[in-house]
Amino acid sequence: MLRRNFLAGTSLAMGLSAAGVGLAAPLRAARSILDYGAVPDGKTLTTKAIQRAIDDVFKAGGGLVYAPPGTFLIGGLELKSRVTLYLEAGCVLLGSKSIEDYDYHPGPPMQGDANGHHVIFAQKADDVTLCGLGVIDGQGSAYWETVNRPPVTPENEWKDVATFIHRPANHNRRPSPMVEFAQCRNVRISGVTLRNSAGWTMRPVNCDTVVIDGILIRNPPTGVNCDGIDITASTNVFVSNCDIMTGDDAICLKSESPYGGDVLPTKNITVTNCTLTTSCNGFKMGTATHGAFENIVFSNSVIYSNVNPVNARVIGGLSIETVDGGSLDGVVVSNIRMQNVRAPIFVRLGERKKKEGSFLRNVLIEGVDAEGAIVTSSITGVPGLRPSDITISNCRMRTVAGGDAAWTHREIPEVADKYPECWMMGHLPAYGFYVRHADRVRLRNVEYITDKPDGRPAIVCDDVNDAIFNGLELSRPEGDAPLLDLRDTRRAFVYGSRSPEGNKVFAQVSGSGSGGIVLLGNALNAGERAVSYSGGAAKSAAKVK
């Protein structure tokens, strides 16, 4: 018997309502997968039975496919236009451990983190929904193998990743992303739990209007390439109320074209009210970054990790990157709490691939509260590529690592063509912010506190043009290090800041390229030098008022 009337008085009606899915279409054409022979024993492959239910609803003009409680072993399912796949609480769609059970969908390359095998797939589908309180389990560990590598020494854990103990097995033949929506319009994913992905967990790619709400992602912290959500070349994407625990980037925005054609912009993206934990990056733009990022908002969220081991902590809380010739214009981040994140903020414009017109600009970060940092936050470009109009305001950050005064004087490599990561340049010469090859940088009402002695300046600027710092509250560097170290810095305006008790030099100006620096209305200690000069800097480079 077809279960057409099971909506009334069941959790399905309440679940659909909570998911924002209307009831008219499901009532018109509703199918239970049991009526198509799906066996809930977790052993019998039921892909064809469930696919027949999806295809019948699609042919009927749209409706709902109902998956009841039970464990259903599947290969790859393809959703169609106007079809809602509803997973009831207690339902588990269990991905097969054999790659031969998955169809290959042409488009993405066979190699790399993503390919053409997926547990759930939709392409060029409109008005498609995946919802309910059920589970999709990819059994990802079946596609990994352990790497026998030497133990990481404690002093190097800060630049290591826990996932390095595994690698893809079977020549990287695995379902990734586990859930893929390609070239679709009006997509809704809500309520479901996605766990144990063999690679990337979910990717909307080349999609228009996507709502992702209230999903849980549960991947092992040592899983291989297990990104949470990869929003790629899509427009009008809304992510909210999601709880993500994974081993690779939790939410990652990408700009590439795996299905061919021009690289579409990743544009009009809002992410809010989420909790993120991973042993990689929390909220990230890049890589890949071949096209444009525009109008990105990330707000009201928590990024956290456990204290130990260090290499299992979040690497970068906010990693905002353009390194493959693309562009980024218009990012707003607000009200983010971070706990035990290695580097709270990492902004990077690089050139792994050279391309005319690459830029990174108009980034506003405010209301970040971070404790437990161990890696310096940074805003860096490379010669000829300079991030610009970067504002960080009303932020409070606390570092617990401590630092060696000798790091202040080490030569910092450009590493212009390297994979971007917060540790890519090694130990940095500042404990708080390192800014290099950048224009129009603003730090307003920023507090950076050290819990352990640190012999480095709080802020180092190197080849920076047009900087404004005001309302700074910073810990005193140990020894003779200045609070601010301005190297070949032009048109810097520092005002309304208070020097920490016992500090010896407020600002050091160095380099013949420095000039136009003004210090105004700062509260200094008795006997403290307002400015010191070195490295060929003219004494006219800075004025104290």
In sequence order, what are the beta bridge partners of 189? Answer: 130, 212
Cβ atoms of 252 and 288 within 8 Å: the answer is no
Q: What are 338's strand-pairing partners?
A: 303, 370
Convert the pLDDT of each residue in 497-543 to its tens digit: 999 999 999 999 999 999 999 999 999 999 999 999 999 999 999 99
CATH number, domain 29-544: 2.160.20.10
Per the CB < 8 A criterion, the answer to whether 262 and 235 are in contact is no
Q: What is the DSSP code string of 352-369?
A: SS--TT-EEEEEEEEEEE
Share of the chain above pLDDT 70, in %: 94
354/94: higher pLDDT: 94
The residue with greater pLDDT, 527 or 26, is: 527
- Amino acid sitting at position 259: Y
CA dihedral 145→258→268→241, nearest 10 degrees, is: -30
Whether pLDDT at 28 is above 60: no
Q: Any idea what DSSP says for residue 14?
A: H
Give strand ranges (E) for 403-452. Answer: 433-450
Distance CA 384, CA 396 (A): 32
Query: Could you count the other beta carbons within 10 Å of the beta carbon of residue 524?
Result: 17
Number of H-type helices and E-type strands within the chain: 3, 40
Q: Is the peptide bond before 177 cis (omega within 30 degrees of 0)?
A: yes
Average pLDDT over residues 23-36: 72
pLDDT category at 107 given cuts 50, 70, 90 is confident
Instruction: Residue 393: count other Cβ atoms within 10 Å of its Cβ.
Output: 17
CB contact at 8 A, 186 and 25 = no
* Nearest in space to 333 (alpha carbons), one of 376, 290, 402, 282: 282
Residue-level pLDDT at 27 = 46
Please report the pLDDT score of residue 356 as a whole number: 86
Q: Which two tokens stand for residue 218?
A: 């549960």
pLDDT at position 424: 98
Residue 50 in this model has a pLDDT that exceeds 90: yes
| Per-residue pLDDT reduced to its tens digit, 236-290 | 999 999 999 999 999 999 999 999 899 999 999 999 999 999 999 999 998 999 9
Mean pLDDT confidence for 441-463: 98
Cα–Cα dist 396/532, whole Å: 28
Q: What's residue 361's pLDDT?
A: 98
pLDDT of residue 12: 60
Looking at the predicted structure, is the pLDDT value of residue 24 above 90? Answer: no
In this predicted structure, what is the pLDDT of residue 349?
98
Q: How far apart are CA 171 and CA 545, in angstroms?
A: 65
Percent of the chain with pLDDT over 90: 89
Residues 207-216 have a mean pLDDT of 98
Q: What is the pLDDT of residues 189-201, one digit of tens each?
A: 999 999 999 999 9
The dihedrals phi and psi of 119, each to the nearest 5 degrees, come to -75, -45
* Domain range annotation of the chain: 29-544
pTM of the model: 0.95
Q: How many other CB atoms are there within 10 angstroms of residue 479's CB atom? A: 12
What is the reported pLDDT for 2?
43
Token pair listed for 352: 């792994």
Kindly indicate the confidence band of residue 307, based on its pLDDT and cuts at 50, 70 and 90.
Answer: confident
Give the chain's mean pLDDT: 94
Whether 19 shows a pLDDT value over 60: the answer reads no
Q: How far apart are CA 83 and CA 21, in angstroms?
A: 11
End-to-end CA, the chain: 86
Mean pLDDT within 405-430:
97
